Chain A
């Protein structure tokens, strides 16, 4: 039986605009913060996994040059919006495999001002002849001619499809999900945006892709997060204070999307999330009812709704009723995105899958201040990257 893995130290930078810092500055701040939080140094690290999507590549080695070059292996990982979770899981697998007893995972992104993601656009008019290219033999870019490639539009359709299947999901319902997350963000000093919006403001804001208005979309911003992981055997040799603050990784799961009809034209974010959730609950020996808080991938308000169902926080088809019951508000039965979620906390892509784990750890350690979910013992962090990849981590408070 492989050793259990624990989070010894974890941190996130403030999300937002960091005009004076590059990705290495942000990642280094997060890495040094996580090491200090865990009471260890780069000397003890046996592996580093580093995630970054938009930068030049090889960010792990660049980070080492700023925080400590000790010759350990670096795994530079890239897995769309699941990149941070993939970095975390890479270190967890190395520890479980017995290759080392401590390692560090870092995720970083600079996205402030990046604008719309996913749309290829239609090329400028400087050519002469229709010429078929690519696997579809397209004579012109198809974004906007054969549906949309944009993220807001893709996830809008994903939410609308849920409404088509089960009913009850309209523009106002999606906007109210966003209202909840923006309300939660007012308690999070590290969020990129911590302004409360009224429902009218959300619905009346600029429409991006119906039914997602601007505040219902994740905020592009800069940020980094890092975590130091340790084997249980090693943890037991550390100080009682380190053991008390350590958080157990009760489950670490990564899935991809199995083939299904329609997945070639609209990514299916449901099945791989449900598959990951099933595996995670089984590995952790907990069920959805045991969760004291959930950080799920609300890249758009329309996405949050479907993941209530995919993570089995409600009966199948019951996501609308689940939301209407007040359950996912911070004073509800299953608080969801008490950090403010991606819509207000922000979504520096590769940092997200570690930052959401930090949020859960923060509560399990009883260190979340004004937004503390009292008595939190178990939490779940979920991310999904289109393409697709889904990462789920279930975290448990230390009994020590």
Chain B
């Protein structure tokens, strides 16, 4: 996930003075908000490979036709780490995990769980949840996702 990082040049953040307008934007475009928040992938119409970012061609079969598909909102933890030392500006500790969502691997933070190795376990069942990242000067709220224990 290195390619986009350098492209982020401006920063947006929460101010205390703006008035919420009710408008929301997702942290990333593969998070779909609304009554039933979920993740969506670009699925290759030839081979079924799923990608969270836009692709020029399929890395698996080189096909160029994709369709949007919803990803299961529940899954199990396949790998995790508890990050206690991170780049400046990143709040620690946090739990980073790989979650198997019915055959699609998803990367995300585990939330609503203590960041302690005795509390987080491999195979743990989790579900998608969302939380607010704050509102910007236009009153728009950014919403991020994480996974919480079921």
Interface string of B20-47 (1 = CB under 8 A from A): 0000011111100000000000000000
Number of interface residues of A (CB under 8 A): 57
Give the residue of B11, B54, B80, B133 whose beta carbon is less than 8 angstroms from that of A124: B11
Residues of B within 8 A of A134 (CB): 3-5, 7-8
| B73 contacts A by Cβ under 8 Å | no
**Chain B interfacial positions (CB closer than 8 Å to A):** 1-5, 7-13, 15, 25-30, 49-54, 59-60, 78-92, 94, 96-98, 103-109, 117, 122-123, 133, 136-138, 140, 142, 144-145
Q: A157, B51: Cβ atoms under 8 Å?
A: no
Q: A156, B4: Cβ atoms under 8 Å?
A: no
Can you list 11 contacts pairing A with B, beta carbon distance less than 8 Å? Answer: A121-B86, A129-B10, A135-B3, A140-B133, A146-B108, A146-B109, A148-B96, A149-B1, A171-B117, A212-B81, A265-B105
Q: B140, A129: Cβ atoms under 8 Å?
A: yes
Give the residue of B29, B78, B109, B138 whose beta carbon is less than 8 angstroms from that of A129: B138
Q: A210, B117: Cβ atoms under 8 Å?
A: yes
Q: B117, A142: Cβ atoms under 8 Å?
A: no
Could you say which of A89-97, A159-167, A236-244, A310-318 contacts chain B? A159-167
Chain B min CB distance to A12 (Å): 29
Q: A265, B107: Cβ atoms under 8 Å?
A: yes
Q: Which residues of A135-191 have CB atoms within 8 Å of chain B's CB atoms? A: 135-150, 152-153, 156-158, 160-161, 163-164, 171
Residues of A within 8 A of B97 (CB): 147, 157
The residue on B at minimum CB distance from A134 is B4
In the A-B complex, list the 4 residue pairs whose CB atoms are closest, starting with the nearest: A134-B4, A121-B87, A137-B29, A144-B90
What's the Cα separation between A160 and B140 when bound, in Å?
38
Q: A135, B96: Cβ atoms under 8 Å?
A: no
What's the Cα separation between A122 and B108 when bound, in Å?
16
Give the residue of B51, B59, B84, B90 whose beta carbon is less than 8 angstroms from that of A143: B90
Give the residue of B27, B52, B117, B137 whose beta carbon is less than 8 angstroms from that of A265: B52
Q: A261, B87: Cβ atoms under 8 Å?
A: no
Residues of A within 8 A of B88 (CB): 121
The residue on A at minimum CB distance from B30 is A136
Q: B27, A138: Cβ atoms under 8 Å?
A: yes
Q: B27, A142: Cβ atoms under 8 Å?
A: yes
| A126 contacts B by Cβ under 8 Å | yes
Contacts A123-B89, A145-B27, A146-B27 known; A156 to B81 CB distance under 8 Å?
A: yes
Residues of B within 8 A of A149 (CB): 1-2, 5
Identify which of A125, A147, A266 gathers the most chain B CB atoms within 10 Å of its CB. Answer: A147
Residues of A within 8 A of B85 (CB): 116, 150, 152, 206-209
Q: B87, A138: Cβ atoms under 8 Å?
A: no
Chain B, interface SS category: loop
Q: B13, A127: Cβ atoms under 8 Å?
A: yes
The total of Cβ contacts below 8 Å across the A-B interface reads 212
Residues of B within 8 A of A157 (CB): 79-81, 96-98
What's the Cα separation between A135 and B53 when bound, in Å?
5
| A119 contacts B by Cβ under 8 Å | yes
Residues of A within 8 A of B52 (CB): 136, 264-265
Q: A147, B109: Cβ atoms under 8 Å?
A: yes
Residues of A within 8 A of B27 (CB): 138-140, 142, 145-146
Q: B7, A147: Cβ atoms under 8 Å?
A: no
Q: A144-B109, A146-B109, A264-B105 are in contact. List 8 more A-B contacts (CB 8 A).
A: A123-B11, A123-B89, A129-B10, A134-B3, A143-B5, A144-B86, A147-B107, A150-B87
What's the Cα separation between A136 and B106 when bound, in Å?
14
What's the Cα separation between A149 and B122 when bound, in Å?
20
| A204 contacts B by Cβ under 8 Å | no
Q: B105, A140: Cβ atoms under 8 Å?
A: no
Residues of B within 8 A of A136 (CB): 1, 4, 28-30, 52-53
Chain B min CB distance to A264 (Å): 6
The residue on A at minimum CB distance from B110 is A147
Q: B79, A161: Cβ atoms under 8 Å?
A: yes
Q: B4, A266: Cβ atoms under 8 Å?
A: no
Residues of A within 8 A of B84 (CB): 206-210
What's the Cα separation between A153 and B87 when bound, in Å?
12
Contacts A142-B28, A266-B79 known; A121 to B89 CB distance under 8 Å?
A: yes
Chain A min CB distance to B19 (Å): 14
Residues of B within 8 A of A161 (CB): 78-79, 98
The residue on A at minimum CB distance from B48 is A261
Q: B96, A153: Cβ atoms under 8 Å?
A: yes
Residues of B within 8 A of A132 (CB): 25, 29
